[in-house]
A = this chain, B = another copy of it.
Amino acid sequence: MAFEARDIGIGMIGCGTVGGGVATLLRDQAALYERRLGRPLRLRKVLVRDAKKARQGGAASELVTTDADAFFATADMPIIVEVAGGAGTIHEHVRRAITTGRHVVTANKSLLAAHGAELFALARRHQVSIAFEASCCGGIPVITALHAGLMANRIDALYGILNGTCNYILTEMTQQRKPYDVALSEAQQHGYAEADPTLDVSGMDAAQKLCVLASLAFGAQVTSEQVRVIGIDQLELTDIRFAAEMGYDIKLLGIAEAVEGKLSLTVQPCFLHKDVMLAQVRGPFNALSVYGHATGQTMYYGRGAGALPTASAIVSDVINLASGGYPHAFAALNLWSDQQPAARIIDHDDLCSRFYVRINAMDRPGTMARVTQALGEAGISLSAVMQHESGEGKFVPVVVLTHRARWGSLRQALAKVEALDVIDGRPVCIRIVDLPDG
């Protein structure tokens, strides 16, 4: 576990945006890191698929190779940083890094969400560690908070704005009243969204991060399939307007909550009261609120993506590995998903919450009575009803806010509402999140 050479040699797999950031930090801050660590960090080798791109990313050309065997044969390289992303070959490379006795630092949330337990177990067998601060929330040290700073807490809930692309789009929709398509295309122009934005706007990226965070926080193996995911790509400006009228913002929240010994895992657009701290998180920023039994709420805020913020998390992990601090914590603490039982997930129908419901209803006498009757029969009571003026005989949006209700009951009631002849289209239903006090 100790690092014997005076220099700490680093191998890097991938050299795109984040890899370029890592190369930049290691070059520009070499003196600072050597002062902090008492020994220098040295980038020894960079494994890429396309050597030309890697050089554009800032890695010195003599370090770059496309030959995996040559890369793994490099001597004095006890730490391998994986910033390529993806699965398949990259999964194999990470396994090979571990089996050749290297500590691994990775930003790869999809790999960890799918294969974390396998990789942690492999690392344990080979007496190395896996550090993954960069996998969630970019430069915000949330993983460090969960495995170190909050160690004395039983964690009761996580509420996170985990995807900067979605938060940027929602901020533009909310503040500028831009429709989804316009906000998305602007996000793409600013580099906040990929050409193919599916992974982000579908909520899947946030779901993978929620898996990584929840596994660590709750001491359970969590997989993406266990997360109920609704993206922002179907969200209408109408609902953002109604939310604002009622004092709420809509945010894409990743939520992991302990409910009666089980876990509830969701990623979905949610109503958040404008006054809570999480609702103040705007643009491409991320934040995670952690509810610990002793701390109450602590919140972590910052840039969730970008070359230098993510590289900050990677290089901080490298320094914490090189100091020996992280390897000892990794070996001694039973926190990692391979040591945990599979999560017991609550039936989503049993989730209790307040909800916002919008229906298109015919504006004629008796319509509201039929809608509220269907809801009332399912035991759903309402805290507010809102309908703007319109003309008799036309379809108008009617908004109701429910008191706390079981999702399964509301779902069934909404199916009945939808079947009424005075209702047009599917009801829109959005969870209202009331954050615990504190």
Interface residues of A in 313-340 (CB under 8 A from B): 313-316, 318-320, 322-329, 331-335
* Cα–Cα distance between A260 and B27 once the two chains are bound (Å): 22
How many identical chains are in the complex? Answer: 2
Do A328 and B334 have beta carbons less than 8 Å apart?
A: no
Tell me the residues in window 259-303 of chain A with beta carbons closer than 8 Å to chain B beta carbons.
277, 280-281, 292-303
CB distance from A47 to the nearest CB of B (A): 21
Across the interface, which residues of B come within 8 angstroms of A25, CB to CB? 152, 294
CA of A324 to CA of B139, assembled, Å = 25
> Are A154 and B29 CB-contacts (below 8 A) given A301-B299, A302-B296, A312-B292?
yes
Which chain B residue shows the least CB distance to A281?
B277
B309 touches A152 (CB 8 A): no
Contact A312 B153 (CB under 8 A): yes
Determine if A32 is an interface residue (Cβ-Cβ < 8 Å).
yes
Decide if B154 touches A149 in the complex (CB within 8 Å): no
Kindly identify which residue among B148, B302, B323 contacts A295, using a CB–CB cutoff of 8 Å: B302
Give residues 189-205 of A contacting B (CB, 8 Å). Answer: none
Q: Does A438 count as interface, using CB distance less than 8 angstroms?
A: yes
| Shortest Cβ gap from A195 to chain B (Å) | 25
A303 touches B141 (CB 8 A): no
**Cβ of B323 and Cβ of A294 under 8 Å apart?**
no
- Chain B residues with Cβ below 8 Å from A21 are 294
Q: A378 CB to closest chain B CB, in angstroms?
A: 38
Interface residues of A in 1-44 (CB under 8 A from B): 21, 25, 29, 32-33, 35-38
For A151, the chain B residues whose CB sits under 8 A away are 36, 315-316, 319-320
Query: Distance in Å from the Cβ of A98 to the closest Cβ of chain B?
Result: 20
Q: How far does the alpha carbon of A328 sit from the alpha carbon of B323 in the complex, in Å?
A: 6
Could you tell me the distance in whole angstroms from the C-beta of A81 to the nearest C-beta in chain B? Answer: 12
Question: Please, which residues of chain B bring their CB within 8 A of the CB of A153?
Answer: 312, 316
**Given A25-B294, A277-B280, A325-B329, is A311 in contact with B141 using a C-beta cutoff of 8 Å?**
no
Task: Assess A294 versus B312: contact at CB under 8 Å? Given A36-B333, A152-B33, A324-B329.
Answer: yes
Closest to A333 in B: B323
Could you say which residues of chain B place their CB within 8 Å of the CB of A35?
A: 219, 334
B139–A144 CB distance below 8 A: no
Interface contact B312-A323, CB-CB below 8 Å: no
Contact across chains for A148 and B141 when beta carbons are under 8 A apart: yes
Q: Are A320 and B329 in contact, with the CB atoms below 8 A? A: yes
Give the residues in chain B near A154, CB-CB below 8 Å. 29, 32
Task: Name A287's closest neighbour in chain B (CB-CB).
Answer: B299
Residue A150 at the chain B interface, CB threshold 8 Å: yes
Check: A357 CB closer than 8 A to any chain B CB: no
Given the interface pairs A302-B298, A302-B299, A311-B294, the reply to whether A149 lies near B333 with Cβ below 8 Å is: no
B37 touches A334 (CB 8 A): yes
On A, residues with C-beta under 8 Å from B are 21, 25, 29, 32-33, 35-38, 133, 138-141, 143-145, 148-154, 219, 277, 280-281, 292-303, 308-309, 311-316, 318-320, 322-329, 331-335, 438
7 A-B interface contacts by CB (under 8 A)? A29-B154, A33-B152, A37-B332, A140-B295, A145-B145, A151-B320, A296-B308
Closest CB pairs A-B (n = 3): A141-B149, A325-B329, A139-B295
